[in-house]
Structure 1
Amino acid sequence: MGLQDLVARTPQSRRRDLDLLRAAAIGAVVLGHWLVVTVERTSDGQLAGFSALPELSEIHALTWLFQVMPVFFIVGGVANAISWTGRRTLGGTATRWLLDRSARLFPPVTVFLLVVAGCAAVARLAGVPPDVVARAVALVVLPLWFLVVYLGVTALTPLTHRLHERHGLVVPVALVAGVAVGDVLRLATGNELAAAGSFAFGWLAIHQVGYAWHDGTLRLGTRRAVTLVVVGLGTLLLLTGPGPYPVSMVTVPGDAIQNSSPPTLALLALAATQLGLVALVARQAERWLAHPRSWAFVVAVNAVVLTLYLWHLVAVAFGAFALDALGLLPSNDPGTVAWWLGRVPWLVTLAVVLAVLVALLGRVETRAPARRSLPGAVVRERSRAGAGLAVALARTGPVFGAYAAAVAGLLWLTVAGGTGDLHGPLVVPTGALVLVLGSAAVLRFGRAGARLGPAPKPPR
């Protein structure tokens, strides 16, 4: 289905502002990462990248503009609420809903992991030093941390949405309290593990707010939205000024406390500010997106939004090697005039490389929704035993087990990349690859089984 067909088939009821916010959030993440990544030659003559943020403390407040993952989770809460309630109204089950949600997410991820592992193996065979390959892999798998959290939050939607329907805003308030307890323990003991629960509490709280914004439990007219912005921003200034939290809302290597890993009360204050802002622009955005050209642009970006996110740090690796080969690698001295001027050709190069990667690989994501009906047709041509297995895999246990295993595999990859524990012939941990790829295959076959099984009956 072409772009114009997608634009023409957009239902009038669609929340177009959500698509705009999703695209803008991913765009901000990509631009933010590209701006701060700096590449240099090490003493042994190898290329290595590092974050410039430790040496740019004077601009840490600008990270408030680029830390937009709260916006993504707010949008995710609204989108998951719309999708889940719609499916439930038609008699669908949580299992089938989760199978359908996985259809768009896992194909781009599996292709990404296969390409990264394959390129790492080829690089090792070509004689590239193991530490260079490991550093490159650690860089490109960094975005997977977000998928770990988002996939986990999505899987819990049927449960968390039920809690929202029963208890409303009490749920996010309780989750924020959990973050507060974690912050107190972390600040008192200096132990990051004391706040490990905030990885779940913080992002779930923001996701729950999306439910409340969607169904009107949290009404955000102009006056309330402005109040939320003022209170949220004021709280953020207090927490990061006289308060104990760092100014930067993204990871700064070497800092004792990171506001995003796990989420702190400061990050939640930023999330409240952003919620007020997006509520203020929602109506104006809907009017702007009513124009076909504006909406076509947003549709085009959203069609490959996961591809953009997954591959934007691969573009950094390829771009750095290309510029180095041409003798045009920018200054590696952050904060200097030469470094800032060098950001221009750096960003242009990375944009070109990412455009090529999206052109080559974006179809994996754009075709994923169209393939949802394909496995059923394929299975029908196979033996009865194959069809029976597909139906069995569509049941609750295998679906949630495979989904949980995929998340565990992605977490394994994220931790291995963060700790530098990358070795073996593929560099990427083989066990993690098996978990993710095997689980994706089970879910794909399960979607076939869901279509072969009896159709759901709408509730009376």
Structure 2
Amino acid sequence: MPGLRELAVRTPPERERYVDLLRALAILVVVLGHWMVVVVTGGARGLDGFSALRVLEWGRPITWLVQVMPVFFMVGGFANAASLTSRLRRGGDAQDWLLDRGARLVRPTTALLVTLAAAGLVARLAGVRPAQVGQAVSLASIPLWFLLVYLVAVILTPLTHRLHRRVGLAVPLVLVALVAAGDVARLVFDASTPQLGNYLFAWLAVHQIGFAWQDGTLPVRPGVAAPLLVGGAAAAVLLTALGPYPVSMVSIPGAPLGNLSPPTLALLALATAQLGLVLLLRDVGDRWMRRSGPWLAVIAVNSVILTLLLWHMGAFVVVAVAVYAAGLPLPQPPEDTGAWLLWKLQWLAALVVVLGALVAVFGRIERRGGPRGRRAPVVAYGWRAAATTVGFAACVLGLLGVATEGSADPDPFGLPTAALAGFLAGAALLHAARTAVTAGDHRPGRS
């Protein structure tokens, strides 16, 4: 693996470094936001917790600044479009691209799930109550919700990018209309099932906008960016202040309606405003990224970006368990006081240290390329295509099972056993498909 300085020197001059900056900032904000919002309590029955936004009403408008997952999906769409276009231009095919792109997501996720399962099993054998094990594992696996939807967006990229090339911005407009229909079904007819599609439609709409930014369909001009910023912000204010949507742009457990789970029109309005702001700041950000120091820092963060996302709540669980086991004071000061904020700063310092250690251990899995120099098995093209399809389907269904079932008390691993097994089987199939070559093509395993 080349060093950071070597990677910086090898950066192509045409690379959109600003996109890398936005990706790094988005994930760092997500990490900090999750760490700040979770409140840990302890008692005779062990550790528990809740969202600080339940009591800190003044913090709900602040979520407009820290809800940056739309930015992550935007730059994801940009990067996926650029990568796929480059691969096809060099004579590659969409299946190879998909296997390579998917490996970047599946490999670190496999490490997380296997580690959580092992830790859950050890805790159960040590006599920890199943409910506590399930709760801890469920909290540590919160980031899998975002990973699940993003993985689906990546899997669909060859199709959705082809649609973008044919009809352009009509695709996200249709997806926004589907989100609106889901909201109407929930708000007017009290039918929540149709709104479940918003988990996919909303994030795909934002992902498609990344395509439009990448190929210039959406021009990077103040005359385009400013109306997006002002119009999106105005729509978000109207939908939350006068409309039926809550102010908070992150989920508050127990609230009758949220803007994130699943996403709503209000969240898409905020995404539109964020898009406008991102485009307005593009030239400033690009100039900053031409400086060696900031660019090296961005490369460093992006080299372990998925590890940071996947493990930041695992670090939270480690610190919470350590504090509780050491008999240190829990609960903390009341959440609406300055003492709580000072207390939280100590938590943040501990979390940074623990996450740094986890990244040092597991970040190498993300940075590692594919197998090189190995003797690749030769298989029929149909087998490889089938393994790719079944592998991705198993991974998606496995992650869906883990994300939706939550705390799995009866399972020995603290995770749904069937979902875990399904994901691991899918990951194995994808690895086999990626390292194989089809008959007539005897190139070494792809990296």
Q: Does 1:402 align with 2:398?
A: no
Quick check: 1:393–1:399 contact (8 Å CA) kept in 2?
no
Equivalent of 1:438, from 415, 425, 439? 425
Q: What's 2:412 paired with?
A: 425
Find the counterpart in structure 1 of residue 40 from structure 2. Answer: 39
CA contact (8 A) 2:396 2:423 kept: yes
2:120–2:137 CA contact under 8 A, matched in 1:
yes
1:66 aligned onto 2:60:
no
Cα 1:205–1:404, aligned 2, differ >3 Å: closer, same or farther?
same
CA contact (8 A) 1:399 1:446 kept: yes
Q: Following TM superposition, by how much is the alpha carbon of 1:192 offset from its aligned partner in structure 2, in angstroms?
A: 2.3
Aligned 8 A contact 2:308 2:355 in 1: yes
> Hey, which bits of structure 1, 4+ residues long, moved more than 4 A?
391-394
Secondary structure class of the residue paired with 2:256: coil
1:345 aligned partner: 346
Structure 2 CA distance for partners of 1:429 and 1:45, relative to 1, 3 Å = closer
Which residue of 2 is the match for residue 448 of structure 1?
435
After superposition, residues 139-288 of structure 1 pair within 5 angstroms as 139-288=139-288
Which residue in 2 is equivalent to 1:3?
A: 4
Change (3 A) 1:339 1:452: farther
Counterpart among 352, 375, 380 of residue 379 in structure 1: 375
2:73 counterpart of 1:81: no
Q: How far apart, CA to CA, are the structure 2 residues paired with 1:244 and 1:103?
A: 41
How much does 1:440 deviate? 1.2
Contact 2:388 2:433 in 1 (8 A): yes
Q: For the Cα contact (< 8 Å) 1:220–1:276, is it kept in 2?
A: no
Calculate the TM-score normalised by the size of structure 1.
0.92
1:37 touches 1:51 (CA, 8 Å); kept in 2?
yes
Residue pair 1:96, 1:394 contacting (<8 A) in 2 also? no
Assess if the C-alpha contact under 8 Å between 1:320 and 1:329 holds in 2.
no
> CA separation in 2, counterparts of 1:179 and 1:111?
34
Q: Residue in 1 aligned with 2:54?
A: 54
Structure 1 residue 329: Cα displacement: 4.6
C-alpha separation between the residues in 1 aligned to 2:351 and 2:189?
41
Q: Is the contact made by 1:330 and 1:343 (CA closer than 8 Å) also made in structure 2?
A: no
Q: CA deviation at 1:424?
A: 1.8
Paired with 1:261 and 1:395, the residues of 2 have a C-alpha distance of 35
Task: State the superposition RMSD in angstroms.
Answer: 1.7
1:366/1:166 CA distance change after superposition, 3 Å: same
Structure 1 gaps, min length 5? 381-386
Deviations 1:165-190 (A, max 9, x none): 11111111111111111111100133
* Aligned pairs (5 A) from 1:282-297: 282-297=282-297
Partner of 2:319 in structure 1?
A: 319
Contact 2:333 2:343 in 1 (8 A): no
The amino acid that maps onto 1:80 is: N
Q: Which amino acid counterpart does residue 388 of structure 1 have in structure 2?
A: V
Give structure 2 stretches of 5+ with no counterpart. Answer: none
SS in 2 for 1:121: helix
Partner residue, 1:388: 378
Whole-angstrom CA distance in 1 between matches of 2:359 and 2:329: 24
- Cα drift, residue 56 of structure 1: 1.1
Alpha-carbon spacing, 1:400–1:242, altered in 2? closer, same or farther (3 Å):
same
Percent identical across equivalent pairs? 49
Rate the CA distance shift 1:291–1:220 in 2: closer, same or farther, 3 A.
closer
Query: Which segment drifts farther, 31-40 or 222-231?
Result: 222-231
Aligned twin of 2:136: 136
CA contact (8 A) 1:316 1:350 kept: yes
The residue aligned with 1:383 is: none
Count of residue correspondences: 441
Query: SS state of the match for residue 256, structure 1?
Result: coil
Letter in 1 for 2:232: G
Distance 1:120 1:425, change over 3 A: same
Question: Shift of the alpha carbon at 1:393?
Answer: 7.5
* Alpha-carbon distance, 1:36 to partner: 0.9
* Structure 1 residues 116 and 438: alpha-carbon distance in aligned structure 2, compared to 1, 3 A threshold: same
Deviation per CA, 1:280-326: give whole Å up to 9, x if none.
11111111111111111000000001111111001111111223316
Q: Deviations over 1:229-285 (max 9, x none)?
A: 111101110000011100001101111111111111000001001101111111111
> 2:68, 2:364 → 1: CA distance?
26
Q: 1:332 to 1:45 in 2, by over 3 A?
A: farther
Shift of 1:430: 1.6
Q: C-alpha distance in 2, partners of 1:452/1:446? A: 13
Matched-pair contact (CA < 8 Å) for 2:381–2:438: no
- The change in CA–CA distance for 1:128 and 1:452 in structure 2 (over 3 A counts) is farther
Equivalent AA in structure 2 for residue 429 of structure 1: P
In the alignment, what sits opposite 1:364?
A: 365
CA distance in 1, matches of 2:408, 2:331: 29
Matched position secondary structure for 1:248:
coil
> How big is the shift at 1:333?
2.7
Distance 1:263 1:321 in 2: 32
The one-letter amino acid of 1:441's match is: A
Q: 1:328, CA displacement in angstroms?
A: 4.8
- Counterparts of 1:259 and 1:422 in 2: how far apart (Å)? 29
CA distance in 2, matches of 1:102, 1:235: 35
SS across alignment from 1:41: strand
Partner SS for 1:189: coil
User: CA 1:334/1:453 → structure 2, altered by over 3 Å: closer, same or farther?
Assistant: farther
